[in-house]
């Protein structure tokens, strides 16, 4: 009996470790098509848990991609980037800000298709996220896009639907980053 109980405990422990290490996949359904992202909870556990909290509460449903930063619409910035940004949730429903998981610690860099949390100051990210178009090393720790040099918290990457990301990016007028109408995020759900 003790052997069976011990074996069961060991098995449950092993399953919990494996499930904690597995990658999470989410489907972002938009009015222009679907984007599938793979998340890395082992490398960026706080950021992934935060994103999934919004996903599971269905707070990203009917939000939008509202901003597209291109090489042509950031005249005042000396360090140029290419991203689309979305996921602004009703301010009365926003969860507490999370600590910044720096790319120097996670090893997750802002490569083409990386998904990352938007922020102002370090430790201020809540719900808004962005997806990189092309490699964006200036968004990593030590990068020059944010004056504090702390970078942004990458936590996954697009594994399907970069064509949709690029369609959204092309909606921005030449001199504007915010576009109307924005692209509706119909839902973000976990894929099984």
What CATH number corresponds to the domain at position 143? 2.40.100.10
Give the chain's domain count.
Answer: 1
**If you write DSSP's letter for every residue of the chain in order, what string do you get?**
-HHHHHHHHHHHHHHHHHHHHSPEEEEEEETTEEEEEEE-TTTSHHHHHHHHHHHHTTTTTTEEEEEEE-TTS-TT-SS---EEEE-PPPGGGPPPPB----HHHH-----TTEEEE--SSTT-B-S-EEEESS--GGGSTT-SSSTT----EEEEEEEE-HHHHHHHHTTS-TT-SEEEEEEEEEEEEEE-
Q: What is the pLDDT of residues 12-51, one digit of tens each?
A: 343 344 345 578 999 999 999 999 999 999 999 999 999 9
Confidence of residue 3 (pLDDT cuts 50, 70, 90): very low
The verdict on residue 31 lying in a domain is: yes
- Determine the pLDDT at residue 21: 52
- Determine the pLDDT at residue 24: 97
pLDDT over 90 at 125, yes or no: yes
Q: What is the pLDDT of residues 64-78, one digit of tens each?
A: 999 999 998 987 888
The verdict on residue 6 lying in a domain is: no
Whole-Å CA distances, 150 to 102, 111, 143, 147: 7, 17, 7, 8
Domain span at 170? 23-191
Give the tokens for residue 160.
Answer: 């399907």
Q: Please give the model's pTM, rounded to 2 decimal places.
A: 0.88
Q: What average pLDDT is seen over the chain?
A: 90
Q: What is the pLDDT of residues 63-122, one digit of tens each?
A: 999 999 999 898 788 899 999 999 999 999 999 999 999 999 999 999 999 999 999 999
Q: State mean pLDDT over 159-171.
A: 97
The verdict on residue 1 lying in a domain is: no
The verdict on residue 29 lying in a domain is: yes
C-beta separation of 179 from 65 below 8 A: no
């Amino acid at each position: 009996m003790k052997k069976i109980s011990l074996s069961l405990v060991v098995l449950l422990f092993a399953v919990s470790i494996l499930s904690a290490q597995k990658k999470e996949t989410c489907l972002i359904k938009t009015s222009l098509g679907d984007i599938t992202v793979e998340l890395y909870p082992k490398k960026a556990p706080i950021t992934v848990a935060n994103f999934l909290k919004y996903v599971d509460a269905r707070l990203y449903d009917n939000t939008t991609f509202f901003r597209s930063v291109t090489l042509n619409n950031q005249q005042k910035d000396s360090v140029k980037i290419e991203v689309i940004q979305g996921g602004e949730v009703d301010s009365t429903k926003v969860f507490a800000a999370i600590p910044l998981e720096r790319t120097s610690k996670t090893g997750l860099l802002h490569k083409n298709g990386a998904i990352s949390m938007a922020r102002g100051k370090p430790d201020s990210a809540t719900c808004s996220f962005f997806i990189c178009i092309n490699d964006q090393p200036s968004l990593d720790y030590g990068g020059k896009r944010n004056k504090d040099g702390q970078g942004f918290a990458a936590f996954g990457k697009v594994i399907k639907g970069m064509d949709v990301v690029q369609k959204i990016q092309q909606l921005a007028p030449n001199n504007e980053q915010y576009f109307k109408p924005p692209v509706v995020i119909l839902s973000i759900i976990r894929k099984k």
